[in-house]
Amino acid sequence: MSNFPLQNGVLHAEGVPLPQIAAQFGTPTYVYSKAQLLDNFAGYARPCAGRDALVCYAMKANSNLAILDLLARQGAGFDIVSGGELLRVIAAGGDPGKVIFSGVGKTVREIELALDKGILCFNVESIPELHRINEVAGRLGKRAPVSLRVNPNVDAKTHPYIATGLKASKFGVAFSDALATYRSAAALPHLDVVGIDCHIGSQLLDDAPLLEALDKLIELIDTLASEGIVLHHLDVGGGLGIDYGAGDAAPVPIASYVERVFARVDAWRADKYDGRPIKVIFEPGRSIVGNTGVLLMNVEFIKPGEEKNFCVIDAAMNDMARPTLYQAWMDVQPVTPRQGEAVTYDLVGPVCESGDWLARDRALVVEPGDLLAMMAAGAYGFTMSSNYNTRGRAAEVLVDGENVHLIRRREEPAELFALESLVG
């Protein structure tokens, strides 16, 4: 995380000391680096330059309007999974014509909204969904562009909750059923069958499973073409992981992966697809925003225990769900490192759950009032946060060089029950 350097004994976000941000905006606060965000996106955009390709940011990773606006200005499209996310794209100035709508449970109202706004494509995940989209499009006098999300039964070798490409997954159409499903889609009068999609899971450090899935998609595209169903785009999904500092193998560089995808696609088009054009779409999320952010938090108490020592912080599982939900290892660093003998702590929050921990067995030299930073917290941090225990969600701040922008203020308790009513 080169844009969060330790300078003069203090962690910074680009050119701004993190204690300055804590003093101005309080804690817990998510702090993002604009430079890191743009650099990560460029890892995809540069190899795509001059090609028929589109990078659709998977906005479930971090959907703050400022993040979406910055990416839209760079030419990004967006991968969405709800009508609300589509409205966010529009509010941020994004182009609906660059939106891919994924997800297994699209409602009639969401389909109507997407057709009205003119999205690029629906990633369809079942035959009932095909019929629903066809019915809505017919009623509105429109034609719906669709792609099938094909489940290639490739093991991504990641956490079970974020592995989406196996037979037992709720996502996608089984590879063995894909040909028949495409035939059904092509027969429906209000659909345009335009593409194929695949997403096998998240936090992949090796691109071998992704390339294996790509090979299976190419095989299916050839079979479809032989039946007269010629596709216009190939969506390889997302899934590239980031370095969380746990000592795992280094993730494959973004540009290297993108170049390997194009090498395969170019060779196939020249050899078997008669050189026909096909747009390549990527759906990255974590690899664009994961290492752009830290979660800034304050040490409230040090609580020695008979079997465990606890460092009680003001951030909690409602602010960052990944550790307790996925047993995810997140690196935690003192903002101003102290000298002294380290003590092993579990970092826990104030939420009334034994599962409320953000890190376990960490050797730290800390005192109450110290600031800590959870590193690589830009993805699936704020977007998965909640108001459990009537806790307002954290503030979000974007740093651009030496400039600090509040991009979401902290929620106040009264706002959390403002929509509720007493009875009688």
Same domain, 411 and 278: no
Using an 8 Å Cβ cutoff, are 236 and 58 in contact?
A: no
Q: Is the pLDDT confidence value at 168 over 60?
A: no
Confidence at 155, pLDDT banded by 50, 70, 90: low
Res 276: pLDDT: 86
Same domain, 274 and 299: no
Q: What count of residues does the chain have?
A: 424
In this structure, is residue 20 part of a structural domain? yes
Catalytic residue among 48, 56, 121, 352: 352
pLDDT digits (tens, 9 = 90+) for 235-271: 999 999 999 988 888 899 999 999 999 999 999 998 8
Q: Rounded mean pLDDT of 129-138? A: 98
Same domain, 211 and 295: no
Distance CA 8, CA 397 (A): 22
Tell which phi-psi region holds residue 222, choosing left (phi > 0), alpha (psi between -120 and 50) or beta.
alpha
Res 162: pLDDT: 43
- What are the tokens at 158? 């990641």
Beta-carbon count within 10 A of 39 CB: 16
Same domain, 140 and 160: yes
Confidence at 156, pLDDT banded by 50, 70, 90: low
Same domain, 276 and 302: no
Angle, nearest 10°, between helix axes 254-271 and 34-48? 20
Confidence at 167, pLDDT banded by 50, 70, 90: low
311 is catalytic: no
Q: Is the pLDDT confidence value at 88 over 90?
A: yes
Same domain, 321 and 194: no
Numbered residues of the known binding site for substrate:
286, 322, 326, 353, 380
Of 282, 308, 339, the position where a domain reaches its end is 282
**What proportion of the chain, given as a percentage, has pLDDT over 70?**
96
Confidence at 161, pLDDT banded by 50, 70, 90: very low
Same domain, 272 and 297: no
Of 282, 302, 319, the position where a domain reaches its end is 282
Same domain, 306 and 205: no
Same domain, 118 and 174: yes
Same domain, 296 and 235: no
pLDDT digits (tens, 9 = 90+) for 196-214: 999 888 889 999 989 999 9
Q: Is 250 exposed, middle or buried (0-12, 13-18, 19+ CB in 10 A)?
A: exposed
Q: Rounded mean pLDDT of 153-175? A: 62
Q: Is the pLDDT confidence value at 138 over 90?
A: yes
In this structure, is residue 228 part of a structural domain? yes
The SS3 of residue 107 is: coil
Structure-derived torsion over alpha carbons of residues 282, 286, 287, 289, reported in degrees to the nearest 10:
110
Q: What is the mean pLDDT of the chain?
A: 94
Prior bond to 28 cis, omega within 30?
yes
Numbered residues of the known binding site for pyridoxal 5'-phosphate:
239, 283-286, 380
In this structure, is residue 304 part of a structural domain? yes
Q: Is the pLDDT confidence value at 324 over 70?
A: yes
Confidence at 159, pLDDT banded by 50, 70, 90: very low
Q: Is the pLDDT confidence value at 164 over 60?
A: no
Q: Rounded mean pLDDT of 309-337? A: 96
Same domain, 152 and 244: yes
pLDDT digits (tens, 9 = 90+) for 4-30: 999 999 999 999 999 999 999 999 999
In this structure, is residue 75 part of a structural domain? no
pLDDT digits (tens, 9 = 90+) for 394-403: 999 999 999 9
Of 263, 282, 301, the position where a domain reaches its end is 282
Using an 8 Å Cβ cutoff, are 234 and 279 in contact?
A: yes
Q: Is the pLDDT confidence value at 1 over 80?
A: no
Total number of domains constituting the chain: 2
Range of the domain at 404: 6-31+291-416
Q: Is 230 exposed, middle or buried (0-12, 13-18, 19+ CB in 10 A)?
A: middle
Distance CA 137, CA 135 (A): 6
Confidence at 114, pLDDT banded by 50, 70, 90: very high
Res 424: pLDDT: 86
Q: Is the pLDDT confidence value at 76 over 80?
A: yes
The domain that holds 27 is classified in CATH as 2.40.37.10
The domain that holds 247 is classified in CATH as 3.20.20.10
Structure-derived torsion over alpha carbons of residues 52, 250, 241, 178, reported in degrees to the nearest 10:
70
In this structure, is residue 92 part of a structural domain? no
Same domain, 253 and 295: no
Q: Is the pLDDT confidence value at 418 over 90?
A: yes
Confidence at 47, pLDDT banded by 50, 70, 90: very high
Strand order in the sheet with 6-7: 6-7, 10-13, 16-17
Q: Rounded mean pLDDT of 280-301? A: 97
Q: Rounded mean pLDDT of 34-42? A: 98
In this structure, is residue 314 part of a structural domain? yes
Confidence at 165, pLDDT banded by 50, 70, 90: very low
pLDDT digits (tens, 9 = 90+) for 339-395: 999 999 999 999 999 999 999 999 999 999 999 999 999 999 999 999 999 999 999
Distance CA 118, CA 96 (A): 6
In this structure, is residue 63 part of a structural domain? no
In this structure, is residue 89 part of a structural domain? no
- What are the tokens at 204? 């992949």
Beta-carbon count within 10 A of 340 CB: 10
Numbered residues of the known binding site:
239, 283-286, 322, 326, 353, 380
3-state helix, strand, coil in the chain (%, to 5): 35, 25, 40
Q: Is the pLDDT confidence value at 90 over 70?
A: yes
Res 296: pLDDT: 98
Separation of CA 223 from chain center: 32
